[in-house]
Copies of this chain bind each other. A is one copy, B any other.
Amino acid sequence: MAKKIKTPDDLSTEDKIKEAARTIFMQKGYSATRTRDIAEAADINLALLNYYFRSKEKLFDIIMLEIMQQFVAGLKESFQDEKTSLLEKVQTVAEKYTTLFMKIPDLPLFVLGEIQARPEEMAQKMNLKEVVLNTSFFRQIQEATPEGIHPINCLLNLLSLIVFPFAASPLIKIAGQIPPEAFQILMQQRLQMIPLWFDAMINTKVPGHESNHQNKR
């Protein structure tokens, strides 16, 4: 009975600010969030925001860096693992991101928006070359894509299937009249299918190319 129910107060003020800021920044974007909104959500005095983080922009940078790192965290190792197959890796990415986006629905659109706003900075923060291009994963994709198709397109297909539904989730829920729980089920269903769909796409013949790869599982 004396156990703490939630964790609103036992956070340090610094962390309360960061959590509130993360939520609001992701929801409304940098420009649309007011420092006063953050202060209110964190239940702290406005001046404390500047006391701990100097400025709105500095606070944003810190949070953004953490988000971007979270975004690529855990992928690097599995992507560099030479022992797992392509489809196993596909399964891993799909699972990781589906889980992540279920917890934080605003994440995909927010990240895409920030990348659009400041491409170079964000690409650097995500360290993409390291995480994607120079990995066993990308090499396996290159091998598996049929002639006549750019490997980037295969990678794009995978990311599309994983990320887009979350970026478009409000649309889906309203247009398809899908309640939130049903949406989660839909995404779980996709999770099973994505490796199969990916495999199917990799094995579709390209018109005008006689000798297409056959995917070796």
Contact = CB atoms under 8 A, between A and B. Distances in A.
Interface of A is mostly: helix
Interface of A: 28-32, 106, 109, 112-113, 115-117, 119-120, 122-123, 128-129, 132-133, 148-150, 152-153, 156-157, 159-161, 163-165, 167-168, 170-176, 178, 186, 189-190, 192-193, 196-197, 199-201, 203-207
A42 to B, nearest CB: 21
Given A109-B113, A161-B161, A193-B204, 9 more contacts: A109-B112, A116-B170, A119-B171, A119-B174, A122-B171, A123-B174, A160-B161, A160-B165, A192-B207
A175 B129 contact: yes
25 contacts: A28-B31, A29-B113, A109-B109, A109-B112, A109-B113, A109-B116, A112-B112, A112-B168, A112-B171, A120-B174, A123-B171, A128-B174, A128-B175, A129-B175, A132-B175, A153-B189, A156-B165, A156-B172, A159-B168, A160-B160, A161-B161, A192-B207, A193-B206, A196-B204, A200-B200
